[in-house]
Chains A and B, each alone.
Chain A
Amino acid sequence: MNLLDVIDAVQSLADGVLFGATYALLGIGFTLVFGVMHKINLSFAAASIGAAYASLLILSVIKAPAVVVFLMAAVAGGGLGAIVYLVGFKFIPLANPLATLMSTVGLLLLIDEIVVHTTAGVPLNYPALFSDVIIRAGPFNIRGDLVFVFLLGCVCMVVLLFLIYRTNLGIATRAVSQQSTAAQLCGISITRVNVLTFVVTGVIGGIAGAMTGAAIGMLSPLLSLPLTVKGLIVTVIGGLGSIPGAIIAGLLVGGLENVLQFFRGVSERDLYIMLLLFAFLVFRPGGIFAIAHGRD
C-alpha cells in the first residue's frame, strides 16, 4: 500500500461519510416512527424518493432554483408522510405487528410503481447546489455539493432534536412513545401525535430524497430498495428509537461502504456491511448507544 493508496482510502472515507448524511436522515425517519409507534415503516425510503420526484414537478411549471426544488421535496415528503399514515397505519389493526409491516411493504411497492409508471423508469436529472465547488485540502478534494448535503443533514438533525426535546409536540411525542395510555389520560391525542410524527418524518424523508438526488445528480426508481435496506441497517446499528444513534450509524455506514469498496471491491462491499449488521444484532442489539446490559 503506497501513499497514493492511503490518500485514496482517506478520500473514500471522507466521501462516504459526507454521503452518509443521507443515510442518517433516512435512519432518523425509520427510528422516529419506531420510537413513537413501535412499528417499522418500510415505505419510508420509497416515499422519500417519491417526494424528490414530486418536487421535480415544479420544474415543469417554472424554472425554479435548486433550493425551491428541495423545499418542494420537503413539502411533498410531509404530504406523503400523512398519506402513508392514513393508508398504512390508521385503519390497520396496530395490535398485529405483521399487519402494518405488510401494509408498508405494499405501500413501498405501490409508491415505486407509481413513480415507474409516471416516468417509465427513466432516470431524471436532479438539481444540486454547489456541484461545481471543489474544496481542495492538500491531496484531498471535498465535493461542495456533498458538504452541503452533510451540513443540511446536520441542520435537520439539530432542528429535529430541538423539536423533540424543546417543544410541546416533542413532549407529547415522547409521552406517547413511553406510555401511550398515560399520555391519552393526560389529554394527548394519539392520532394527532402519530399524524404529526409521520408528517415530520416525511419532511425529513423528502429532504433525504432530495439530497440523495442532488448527490447523485439523478433520480431513479432503482434507488428505493437499496435506500430502504440502508435505512434499516442504519436504524439497527444506531439502535431502534435512537436519533443520535441513527446519525452516527448513517455516517458510519456511508464511510465504511466506501472504504470497503476501495479495499475489497464491489462484490464484497455489501457482504461486510451485512456482517456488521448481524454483529450488532447479536452482540449489541440495542445499537451503538445502548446501555451495556447485554441482550434482552
Chain B
Amino acid sequence: MHRKFVTFIASLGAMAAFAIAAPATAQERTVKITGFGAKSGVVRVFGINSEAAMKAAAEEINKAGGVTLGDGSKAKLAVEFLDDRCNAEEGISVVRRIASSDAFVAVGPTCSNVAESLFGILQKKVGDTSDSGLQFPIIADVAAKGGLAKISEWSFRNVPSEFEMYKSLMGWVRSQHPDLKTIYGGVEKDFAHSNATYGVMKGQAEANGLQVVGTAEWLLNDTTFSTQVRDMKRANADIVAISAHPFTTCGVLKEMERQGVKPKLLIGLTSSSSIETLQGCAKQAEGMIIPTSFAPVTPEAKQAAENVAKFGGSADLHSAAAYEIMFILKDVIEQQKIMAKPDTVQGDRNKMREGLAALKETNGLLGKVGRTADREAIKPFLYVHAKGGSWEVLHKPSS
C-alpha cells in the first residue's frame, strides 16, 4: 500500500514537472524558412543538394544560439523544402502556397525557366498600387541565367555572374595561352541556362581575340553526337567550349574521344563542375576547365562541404549559394528586427525585402560577396579543372 502511494505521488510530481516545463518549451520559437526547387525529375540532385545545404546551415546557426527576433526573443531556424519539378507552373503554385502561409521569404528555385516565370508574378515595383503582383521576397540559389533578378524588386539572387566568370576565364586563357587562336563551341540548345551561357562564352571569346570557328548544337536528351563531333573535328579548333549539362557534356566528350578530337584546351559550363560529370565521364573530362564560385579551399568552405554531406547532399557552386543564403537571412532577420509572428507577416515580408535590397556586401564561403543595385550577387570565383577524377583548383583570379 505504502509503495503504491509513493508511486502515485511520484507520478503526480512528474506530471507537475512536465506541466511546468511545457510552457517553457512552447515559448522556444521556431522560424521556418521554406526552400523550393527540383526534387524530382532529372535535376532532382539540385534540389537534394539545396535542401541539404539549407538544413546544414540552419543547424550551424541553431548551434550558435539561433536567430534573434525583433522582440528580442531567440528562435531556432527550421527548413522546409518543396518540390517544383523544375516546372514553371508548379513553381508558381508552390510559391503561392508558401506565400499563403506565415513565411516571410522563400529560397529557390533550381531552374532558370521557373525563376523567369515565377519572378514575373511578383510585384514589379515596390509600392506600385496598380500592380497586383505578389509582394513576397524570393532569393534564388541555383537559377543561373543572367539578369533574372531585374524582373521584380521582390526577386533576389545569390548566384554567381557567369558573365564575369567567363570574361575573366577567356581573358586568362588568352594571356596564359597566347598560342591558342581558335575556339569551337558546343551548346545544349533547348536548355535556357546552357543556351544563355553559350552566348556569354562566345561573346567573351571573341572579345578576347579568339576566333569562333563553329558551333555544334544538340538537345538536352539527345543520344548521338557523331555528326556534331565530326563538324568539330573538321574545324580543328585549339579550344573547345561546351555549354551543356553533365549528361550531354559526357556524351559529347565520349564521342570526341572516339573520333580522336583532342583540343589543346577544354572549357565547360559552370553547372558541370559537379560530381555528376565525374561520375559520368571522369576520364574524358580530364583537363576540362570550369569557372566556379565554390571549392573547398577556405576553412569555412571545407566546413560547409562537410556539413552539407552530413545531410546527404553535396556542396557545389549551387548548394553553396543556398548555404550562404541562410546566413544572409539570419543577418537580415536580426538587422530588420523581423518579428516572425502571424500578425506581422506582410510587415516582415516588407522588412525582409528592404533588408535584402539594402545589402551592399555579404559573407560568402570563398570571401566577401558584393551586391548590385539590381539585386544580383558579385561572387568571388576560381577556376577548377578535372584532374584524376576530381575537381582541383587551377587558378584564383583574385590572387
Residue in contact with B189 in the complex, picked from A12, A117, A122, A267, CB distance below 8 Å: A267
Residue total for B at the interface (Cβ-Cβ under 8 A): 34
Residue in contact with A218 in the complex, picked from B40, B224, B251, CB distance below 8 Å: B251
The CA-CA distance from A216 to B48 in the complex, in Å, is 26
The CA-CA distance from A212 to B247 in the complex, in Å, is 14
Q: Is the CB of A121 within 8 A of B45?
A: yes
| Cβ-based interface call for A123 (8 A) | yes
Residue interface bits B207-227, CB-to-A below 8 A is 1, else 0: 000000000011111111011
Chain B residues, Cβ within 8 Å of A215: 223-224
Q: Is the CB of A121 within 8 A of B44?
A: yes
Query: What distance in Å separates the Cβ of B108 from its nearest Cβ neighbour in chain A?
Result: 17
Q: Is the CB of B42 within 8 A of A216?
A: no
| Cβ-based interface call for A163 (8 A) | no
Chain A residues, Cβ within 8 Å of B45: 120-122
The CA-CA distance from A141 to B247 in the complex, in Å, is 24
A121-B226 contact in complex given A141-B259, A143-B258, A222-B247, C-beta closer than 8 Å: no
Residue interface bits A216-234, CB-to-B below 8 A is 1, else 0: 1110111101110000000
Query: A interface, how many residues as a size bin?
Result: 35 or more
Chain B residues, Cβ within 8 Å of A121: 41-45
Q: Is the CB of B221 within 8 A of A223?
A: yes
Chain A residues, Cβ within 8 Å of B42: 116, 121, 220-222
Within 8 A of B (CB), among A1-30: 4, 8, 11-12, 15-16, 19
| Cβ-based interface call for B174 (8 A) | no
Chain B residues, Cβ within 8 Å of A123: 246-247, 250, 276, 279-280
Residue interface bits A251-292, CB-to-B below 8 A is 1, else 0: 000000110011001110000000000000000000000000
Residue in contact with B227 in the complex, picked from A12, A124, A216, CB distance below 8 Å: A12
| Cβ-based interface call for B254 (8 A) | yes
The CA-CA distance from A265 to B189 in the complex, in Å, is 11
Which residues of A come within 8 Å of B, CB atoms? 4, 8, 11-12, 15-16, 19, 113, 116-117, 120-125, 131, 134, 141, 143, 212, 215-218, 220-223, 225-227, 257-258, 261-262, 265-267
| Nearest neighbor of A261 in chain B, beta-carbon distance | B227
Q: Is the CB of A217 within 8 A of B254?
A: yes
Q: Is the CB of B226 within 8 A of A258?
A: yes
The CA-CA distance from A222 to B221 in the complex, in Å, is 6
The CA-CA distance from A265 to B258 in the complex, in Å, is 22
Q: Is the CB of B279 within 8 A of A124?
A: yes
Chain B residues, Cβ within 8 Å of A124: 279-280
Q: Is the CB of A116 within 8 A of B281?
A: no
Which are the 7 A-B pairs with shortest beta-carbon distances? A222-B221, A120-B45, A121-B44, A121-B42, A217-B254, A15-B226, A123-B247
Q: Is the CB of A223 within 8 A of B223?
A: yes
Q: Is the CB of B247 within 8 A of A220?
A: yes
Q: Is the CB of B281 within 8 A of A266?
A: no
Query: What distance in Å separates the Cβ of B150 from its nearest Cβ neighbour in chain A?
Result: 28
A262-B40 contact in complex given A121-B45, A123-B250, A223-B221, C-beta closer than 8 Å: no
| Cβ-based interface call for B337 (8 A) | no
